Amino acid sequence: MSVRSTRDLTRGRLGAHAEVRARGGRVYWTEQEGGRTVLLGWDGAPRRYAPDRALNPGVGYGGGAFNLGEDAVFYVAEGRVWRLPLSRLEPAALTPAFGAAADPQPSPDGARVVYVHHHEGRDLLAVADAAGGAWPEVWVQGADFYMQPTWGPDGAWLAWVEWDHPNMPWDGGRLMLARVEGGGLSGAREVAGGPRTPVFQPLFSPDGHALFWIENPEDAEFDRLVRLDLESGGRTVWVEGRVLLEPAWTQGQRVMSFGPGGALYLRENRRGRAVLWRLAPDGLDEVPLPEGLAWLASLSGDEAGLAVLASGPTRGERVVFYDGEAWRTRALGWPAEADGGVEPEAVTFRGEDGAEVHGLYYPPASGAERPPAVVSVHGGPTSQRTLAFNAQAQLFAANGFGYLELNYRGSTGYGRGYREALYGNWGVVDVADAVAAARFLAASGRADGERLGLMGGSAGGYTTLMTLALHPGVYRAGASFYGVTDLFLLARETHKFESRYTDRLVGPLPEAAARYRERSPLAHAHRIKDALYVFQGSEDRVVPPNQAEELVRILRERGVPHRYKVYEGEGHGWKKPETIEDFYRELLAFFERELGLG
């Protein structure tokens, strides 16, 4: 059966930021269990690790929960880095309990662990004694942000990515390389990147002779894979003109890894469909994916095999293992009976200005013509909806709705020009694309133009609110979950990672103050006429509850039909199974009622 009921939405176990790591044939991954992130492994049979502690990497949006050493797992829990020997289940804390940690990377000899640390607004790279016998030391500091620290295979090199405000990591950064000598680093130098050249995932070759990375040069529309010879200093472009770089919303993201046969395996994003390449000095080959799988994430491996998180439009998330010849499923992120549902259609339509806009349309499972439909606006806004399994889309399709995932201009996956079309235009271009989506669905006959709903979370909630306010009647109803309502408050109160994001999306303050006012949904809330449901988490630190509360106050005073629901103990996104089930029950009932389903 496919995803049909709201309870089905609680059955997925891998979660939005699941990670997988493989070494020597052993495979480990994270799962969601009752709203907590737990660590599981496979070394011939499934096994639960660190059962008494939930993994909680807390730098930025999280990620980088764990990594593997030769004989131990290193993970982040309770704000600390822990070492768990594979031979027993008793972990040892390596760092003190203050601040937040992420992406602990053990040195090849197992003596030290480098990790990203954040405390009181300061980010740095620190190194801890893997035996827990010494206080951690600061190795790298001075930049605003750090990610992806990586050891050379002999422990003689350390590479990492850093960047500064007002950039986000996909705007521009620096790839740094340093020698490891004695108790620290020497000769640190910038080997790639720049203010307008983002760099991603440094990776040393197994023989230690080369360093690879992905970059998007300032003058290039698409990305390239570069190899640096560490002995001669010569550079070679191995792959170019493709979408390879993944927006680094979280720590520990991986789109390439060395694997079976010593080859480099690399994922290309082809407009939301994954293509896996095997790169070797003698050529470039595409690796066929298992039937039904169309998206890959978190690549990790060595000579023994490659592990990835994989899914497809009608195939739930899986941890799969590739030994160079065949794929094998190690674990299911969704029960097998959740597989099925409708196949989405990749659609492209034109905005009012003639620009191309992209999306994925899921028809109703009933096959009904001109059904009511819901348009979903993803968050970020620098994000993308791909052909990964989308339980939300399948839920709406199974219940009689058409459903469009809108990859509006500003989304990643379509080149630099498409991604940067939103710069200076947030609240304008995305809103125009949401209006164009409604007209496309109606004009193409995919949906009844009089029965359309719009929804989104975070930045998607912002676009939803702006669209309802500036274009009343285009959508009959809308839902905003933890959506931005006040750009001034967002810039002042959000977490460090995004505190200067609006410099690019709207403009720097105070020069752009008038634009912030004009682009804030609160300034237009009195114009909303269509039914609205506002959802909020009480512990949201990215978009604090005061934003939703002020919006609801205005709606109440103006007599706008609306509902407001706060989930206690939830943050910027839902984790508790009971919250997830209740949210989708409320959301589905709201659109069924407002759009006249049936």
| 430-455 per-position pLDDT tens digit | 999 999 999 999 999 999 999 999 99
Q: Is the dihedral of CA 18, 336, 306, 41 positive or negative?
A: positive
Residue written as token pair 């002995």:
231
Q: Residue 178: its pLDDT value, please?
A: 98
CA quadruple 163, 165, 167, 169: dihedral, nearest 10: 40
Residue written as token pair 């990586």:
150
Q: Tell me the mean pLDDT in the region 469-473.
A: 97
For 360-408, give the DSSP string: EEE--TT--SS--EEEEE-SSSS----SS--HHHHHHHHTT-EEEEEE-
Is residue 69 predicted with pLDDT exceeding 90? yes
Local confidence band at 34 (pLDDT 50, 70, 90 cut-offs): confident
Q: How far apart are CA 455 and CA 471, in angstroms?
A: 14
Q: Residue 336: its pLDDT value, please?
A: 58
Count, residues in the chain = 598
Q: Residue 1: its pLDDT value, please?
A: 41
Quote the Cα angle for 356-288-328, to 5°.
125
Q: Tell me the mean pLDDT in the region 362-388.
A: 95
Local confidence band at 330 (pLDDT 50, 70, 90 cut-offs): low
* Closest by Cα among 31, 18, 24 to 72: 24
For residue 151, the surrounding DSSP H or E stretch is: strand 145-151
Of the listed ranges 28-42, 149-163, 221-235, 413-427, the least confidently predicted one is: 28-42
Counting beta carbons within 10 angstroms of the beta carbon of residue 559, is it exposed (0 to 12), middle (13 to 18) or buried (19 or more)?
exposed
Q: What is the pLDDT of residues 100-142, one digit of tens each?
A: 999 999 999 999 999 999 999 999 999 999 998 888 999 999 9
Q: Tell me the mean pLDDT in the region 173-201.
A: 96
Every domain of the chain and the residues it spans? 345-594
In whole angstroms, what separates CA 428 from the centre of its chain?
Answer: 24
Which residues are paired to 545 by β-bridges?
none
Q: What is the 3-state secondary structure (H, E, C) of 115-138?
A: EEEEECCEEEEEEEECCCCCCCEE
Counting beta carbons within 10 angstroms of the beta carbon of residue 112, is it exposed (0 to 12), middle (13 to 18) or buried (19 or more)?
buried
* Closest by Cα among 218, 202, 220 to 210: 202
Is residue 557 predicted with pLDDT exceeding 60? yes
Q: Residue 337: its pLDDT value, please?
A: 57
pTM of the shown model: 0.94
Q: Tell me the mean pLDDT in the region 154-180.
A: 97
Percent of the residues in the chain that have a pLDDT greater than 90, as a whole number: 82
For 526-571, give the DSSP string: GG--SEEEEEEETT-SSS-HHHHHHHHHHHHHHT--EEEEEETT-B
Q: What is the pLDDT of residues 478-505, one digit of tens each?
A: 999 999 999 999 999 888 999 999 999 9
Q: Tell me the mean pLDDT in the region 249-258.
A: 96
Q: How far apart are CA 519 and CA 503, in angstroms?
A: 13
Q: Residue 340: its pLDDT value, please?
A: 82
And the tokens for 94? 């390596």
And the tokens for 22? 């493989």
Q: Residue 36: its pLDDT value, please?
A: 86
Q: How far apart are CA 94 and CA 493, in angstroms?
A: 32
B/e letters for 442-478, b = 16+ CB within 10 Å, e = fewer, are beeebbbbebbbbbbbbbbbbbbbbbbbbbeebbbbb
For residue 140, the surrounding DSSP H or E stretch is: strand 137-140
* Closest by Cα among 163, 158, 129, 159 to 145: 163
Q: Tell me the mean pLDDT in the region 529-540.
A: 96
Is residue 528 predicted with pLDDT exceeding 50? yes
Q: Residue 232: its pLDDT value, please?
A: 96
Which residues are paired to 150 by β-bridges?
159
Is residue 7 predicted with pLDDT exceeding 80? no
Q: How far apart are CA 291 and CA 44, in angstroms?
A: 24
Q: Is 162 within 8 Å of 145 (Cβ atoms)? A: yes
Q: How far apart are CA 409 and CA 411, in angstroms?
A: 5
Q: Quick check: helix, strand or coil at residue 172?
A: coil
Percent of the residues in the chain that have a pLDDT greater than 70, as a whole number: 96
For residue 349, the surrounding DSSP H or E stretch is: strand 345-350
Counting beta carbons within 10 angstroms of the beta carbon of residue 298, is it exposed (0 to 12), middle (13 to 18) or buried (19 or more)?
buried
Is residue 9 predicted with pLDDT exceeding 80? no
Of the listed ranges 143-157, 160-174, 316-330, 438-452, the least confidently predicted one is: 316-330
Q: Tell me the mean pLDDT in the region 217-230.
A: 97
Q: How far apart are CA 171 and CA 108, in angstroms?
A: 32
Counting beta carbons within 10 angstroms of the beta carbon of residue 343, is it exposed (0 to 12), middle (13 to 18) or buried (19 or more)?
exposed
To the nearest whole number, what is the mean pLDDT of the chain?
A: 93
Is residue 277 predicted with pLDDT exceeding 70? yes
For residue 504, the surrounding DSSP H or E stretch is: helix 501-505
At the topology level of CATH, where does 345-594 sit?
Rossmann fold (3.40.50)
Is residue 183 predicted with pLDDT exceeding 50? yes
For residue 217, how many other CB atoms are within 10 A of its CB?
19
Q: What is the pLDDT of residues 386-422, one digit of tens each?
A: 999 999 999 999 999 999 999 999 999 999 999 999 9
Q: Tell me the mean pLDDT in the region 302-309.
A: 94
| Cis bond upstream, residue 166 (ω within 30) | yes
